[in-house]
Structure 1
Amino acid sequence: MNFFSACGLARIATSGPRQLRSLNGLIARSQQTGLYSTGSVEPQKGSPPASDASQSVSATANLSARTHAPNNLEKKMLVFTKKYKSVDEIPSLINQEVMERCRNQVRIKVANYMMIATAIGCIIMILSGKGAQERGESVQKMNLDWHKEYNEKARQEKAESKN
């Protein structure tokens, strides 16, 4: 599969069957005409090497495409994942892939810590419930006590309003 068909398939595959049919027709026509080659592209032996200016432009474009200026939270995340020893050591621009990997690691660590905290909370609530059961406390008993107090207050207010 050549580059054109791979990119087109990735872009159009999720659009729907109509777009996919038109892409398949386009691929078939390009293969018949030989417009796009499936082989690798190699420079000719007689061609001069690329100039330094074009290499520096492409390097600058690649650098700007792959850099990210981290904010304070992201800097703390980079230190938390041990990419850098301190916030002061973090450069002003870092690789975007490094930042994405760092975010993913932090997301996983936070999720793991939350699962541990939830499990600990469940264990504490189980122990608390067993202790309340031994003392004879129950939700039903608490509800009956509350209603008893509420009805007594209502009777007292009713008796006071008659006097």
Structure 2
Amino acid sequence: MLVRMAGYRPLPATWGLRAWWGSHHTSGAEILMRARRAPSNKAKGPTTQGSAFQRAFSGHNNFRNERRPTELDKKILLWTGRFKKKEDIPPLLSIQVITSAQNQLRIRICYIMMALTLLGCVAMVISGKQAAKREDTLLKINTEKKAKWRVEKQLELESAAGKTE
């Protein structure tokens, strides 16, 4: 049994999964404009219609797109070059400025990691070539290590046998 809620209107047939999936990307203002009120018995005069819209969209206070930068945000803004000094940073910044600075820092860190990875690869290639010149192979190193362990184990057994006698 399908229960209809008051004020419920079905979606148009052209709206499919994409409309539902993209609904979480809408801003607060778009959500309020799309919202539909349930019909009421109150008389709607010219003052009641406009006042609800004015309250919902009175401006800056309801849909604030700014926030106070934290200390880490301030450091990121300085590192990315958005501001020269810490004193130049205003008390409220738009979220777009903060996220773009964070993205710039993230990209710089990725570039540094890529450079370090390349340096590490070059260092491994150079050390491998030097080891090949010295004829140091993993097989040779492992056989020497196991021979050393056998000698140590043999000495331990001999010393243990000498103490019991």
TM-score, length of structure 2 as denominator length: 0.63
Alignment: residue pair count: 122
What is aligned with 1:143? Answer: 142
Cα 1:123/1:102, change in 2 over 3 Å: same
Correspondence list, 1:5-154, <5 A: 12-13=20-21, 57-62=58-63, 65-154=64-153
- Offset at residue 87 of structure 1 (A): 2.0
- Return the alpha-carbon distance in structure 1 between the equivalents of residues 119 and 137 of structure 2: 23
- Return the alpha-carbon distance in structure 2 between the equivalents of residues 60 and 14 of structure 1: 26
Cα offsets for 1:60-87 (capped at 9, x unmatched): 334xx21121112211111111111122
Identity of aligned residues (%): 26
Structure 1 letter corresponding to 2:61: T
TM-score, length of structure 1 as denominator length: 0.64
What do you get for the CA RMSD once the two structures are aligned? 3.0
Show structure 2 runs of 5+ residues with no match.
1-10, 24-50
- Offset at residue 9 of structure 1 (A): 6.5
Q: As a proportion of its length, which structure holds more helix? A: 1
- Return the alpha-carbon distance in structure 2 between the equivalents of residues 61 and 117 of structure 1: 46
